[in-house]
Amino acid sequence: MMKKFLLKNPTLNNTRIKISILISFIYLFKYSQAQIKTKATTFLFLSPECPLCISYVPVINKLYNDYQYKGIDFVGVISGTSFKQETISNYRSQYDIKFPLIVDSTYTISNQFGAQITPEVVLADSSNNIVYKGRIDNWAFAPGKKRKNATEHDLLNALNEYLNGLSIKVKQTKAIGCFIE
């Protein structure tokens, strides 16, 4: 399936890049988009073998459940060719992932958004301007180091600020996790 994106601010500057992306979409479950105009898309760069990607599924599922009907699409992106469809399907079913997963076998999406870590998120508005890029929250604050509870909810804050027409206070944070390979 061919999907075209017009990206503005792929690295949070005013650069405009037009790309055509040929990726294999793996919809590992029935996904039907509600008749809601998409206001923004959250791209979640994930790896089925990254412990943080596994640990964050409940948080991401909650955000997906809370925001899908407010016009926010969620798309999990698994970059590269390291994972077989069976591995991805098992990841989705074992951890009850609610949002669609796609495979970016040529790293086109991760390269265009500058994603290097899993989990890492990019919130893009309906014109594909990047409005937030980085971590989900600050639960993991260094490799192998986690707080008991997150104290900063960066993606949640960005979603709320965006939907309320406010300027995003924190536009970029450093993602902590596994490298995209």
CA gap 46, 74 in Å, rounded: 12
What pLDDT was estimated at residue 17? 31
84-105 average pLDDT score: 95
5 CB-contact burial (10 Å; exposed 0-12 / middle 13-18 / buried 19+)? middle
Q: Is the predicted pLDDT of residue 80 greater than 80, yes or no?
A: yes
Each residue of 1-50: pLDDT tens digit?
333 343 434 444 332 332 223 233 333 333 333 444 779 999 999 999 99
Q: Is 71 exposed, middle or buried (0-12, 13-18, 19+ CB in 10 A)?
A: middle
User: Residue 126's pLDDT band (boundaries 50, 70, 90)?
Assistant: confident
Cβ 115 vs Cβ 180: under 8 Å? yes
Phi/psi for 54 (5° steps) reads -75, -45
**pTM given for the model:** 0.81
Q: Say which range, 4-8, 106-110, 166-170, has the weakest mean pLDDT.
A: 4-8
Tell me the chain's radius of gyration from C-alpha atoms: 15
Task: For residue 48, give the nearest of 14, 13, 6, 92 by alpha carbon.
Answer: 92
pLDDT at residue 110 greater than cutoff 50: yes
Please give the C-alpha separations between residue 125 and each of 80, 87, 112, 130, 148, in angstroms, as whole numbers.
25, 31, 15, 7, 32
Q: What is the pLDDT, as a whole number, of residue 6?
A: 38
DSSP 126: T
Residue predicted with more confidence, 132 or 32: 132
Share of the chain above pLDDT 90, in %: 72
Distance, CA of 20 to CA of 84 (rounded, Å): 24
How far apart CA 47 and CA 86 sit, in angstroms, is 13
How confident is the prediction for the chain on average, in pLDDT? 82
Neighbour count for residue 44 (Cβ, 10 Å): 27
Residue 24 has φ and ψ, to the nearest 5°, of -90, 115
Walk me through the domains of the chain, giving residue ranges and CATH numbers: 2-179 (3.40.30.10)
- Cα angle vertex 119, ends 83, 27, to 5°? 50
